[in-house]
A and B are shown apart, each in its own frame.
Chain A
Amino acid sequence: MAKSPVQFRLNGSDRATFVDPGDNLLVTLRRGLNEFGPKYGCGQGACGVCTVLIDGEPHLSCLTLAVACEGRHVETVSGMADGPNLHPLQNAFMDNFAAQCGFCTPGMLMAARALLERNPNPTREEVIEGIAGNICRCTGYEPIITAILAAAGNRGQRQA
């Protein structure tokens, strides 16, 4: 089967690889580029663990055709920290015990980041709506919601 080249920016760096015609972005990231942040969950778009940002908007990488990402900017959980300094959302997740098994966390963080980029001061209802496409089977969601609200609050204090 003929492979096709694909090139895009991944967490700020230009990356290129070869993909099979039907490969999705998740497979390309994990197998082709050793980017293991996004997880494989359902492959149906139901669980959200593979959530990444493409040109700043949340997408499910398992349902995104890899070659369609040519020239676009893909961001994963691995790009959130700035060197040793975690992103405020990551700190808030730790402070509020928002991760238990951790499998949903990469997708939750990207969904939360997309929400806060668009809406820096969300209400609790808006947070719930923002992570509505992401399933967590451990926490009961409350610590995650609390963490996102806390990160939004901290962000506001920093800006002030």
Chain B
Amino acid sequence: MALQVRVATTMAEAAGILGSDQRTRLLSGGTLVMRDINEGRFLDGTLLRLTDPAYHQINASGARVELGAGATMAMVLANRDLAFLHPVARAIGGPAIRQMATIGGNLFAATPYGDFAVALLALDAQVMVQSGYGSARAVAIEEFLNARERGASGLVTSVQFAKPQNAADFRFRKVSRVKPKGVSVMSIAVHLPNSASRIGQARVAYGAMAPAPVRARGVERALEGKPLDAAAIQAAKAAALEGTRPVTDAIASDWYRREVAPVHLGRLLAGEGR
């Protein structure tokens, strides 16, 4: 047996093929799957290409954003309605990678990659997953990322989320040792909607601080209902490591990640540069 390539023209057809053959992998942007082929980890099975235009579409003009799973980082950067996500897309690879890397692929990128998924987690995104020939169902991104670790399958067709009412409510920071492009020591995304100058429904997410992007629930509790002042930021920093499980890899040790996480969280919340 060896690799074979199939082409699906609709998302339903692709979901059907993926559901019927565990050895089939979807080729989206290629930055994950082609790497596995090049390194000999995927040499036996089916490579599925999907040509459905809807898979690559972005709808961002209204209050609700829908990003097709096949939309690339370059497409996000070219969309003015997604300006609040431009710092996230720009943080991923160089220009060539951004032409190729997709939203859907980023949801499957193993830590310390997957910075866009961190942003989607802070935005409380819904992941639309289609299994077989039925219609897609919405899965909360946190649930999706947890299921990813268990090897759950299905075709991700798009992600959907409410656009932040105020672009300044959403902030993102990627911490890396190599400038301007390096792999994440960690990444942080926060969405802090506020009413009457008090934060409501805070969402804070980390990348590279656990085996998959993770919510910082201790930080969210520390900020909830408070103005974003020095006292709240101090409380958030004190709770910064709750629920984290950073690993040691070639980029940083778990100790280093624990040391710098509160510092960078504090700077992001305070609106400071690096």
Contact = CB atoms under 8 A, between A and B. Distances in A.
B39 interface: yes
9 contacts: A21-B2, A24-B34, A45-B35, A45-B96, A51-B96, A62-B38, A65-B30, A111-B96, A134-B94
A132 B2 CA distance: 35
A134 B27 CA distance: 24
Interface stretch (A76-84, A85-93, A123-131, A150-158): A123-131
Query: From DSSP, what is the main secondary structure of chain A's interface residues?
Result: mixed
Interface in B87-130: 90, 93-97, 99-100
A12 interface: no
Nearest to A22: B3
A129 B77 CA distance: 14
A63 B180 contact: no
Nearest to B183: A46
B94 A44 contact: no
Interface stretch (A28-36, A52-60, A98-106): A52-60
B180 A43 contact: no
A140 B142 CA distance: 41
A64 B34 contact: yes
Interface of B: 2-5, 27, 30-31, 34-35, 37-39, 42-43, 47, 49, 74, 90, 93-97, 99-100, 180-181
A7 B27 CA distance: 20
Contacts of B96: 45, 48, 51, 58-60, 111, 114, 133
B71 to A, nearest CB: 15
A144 interface: no
A43 B5 contact: no
A37 B43 CA distance: 27
Interface string A126-148: 00111111100000000000000
A44 B39 contact: yes
B180 A128 contact: yes
A128 to B, nearest CB: 6
B268 to A, nearest CB: 21
A4 B49 CA distance: 15
A115 B99 CA distance: 13
B97 A43 contact: no
Given A63-B100, A64-B34, A43 B95 contact: no
Given A4-B5, A44-B39, A129-B180, A21 B94 contact: no
Interface of A: 1, 4, 20-22, 24, 43-45, 48, 51, 57-60, 62-65, 67-68, 111, 114-115, 128-134
Nearest to B3: A22
3 shortest A-B CB distances, which residue pairs? Answer: A133-B94, A43-B38, A58-B96
B43 A132 contact: no
Contact of B97 (A1, A20, A45, A67): A45
Contacts of B100: 45, 59-60, 63-64
Contacts of A48: 94, 96
A134 B181 CA distance: 10
Contact of A131 (B27, B43, B94, B99): B94
Contacts of A57: 74, 99
A115 B95 contact: yes
Given A59-B100, A63-B100, A67-B5, A44 B38 contact: yes
A24 B38 contact: yes
Contacts of A59: 96, 99-100
A132 B180 contact: yes
Contacts of A4: 5
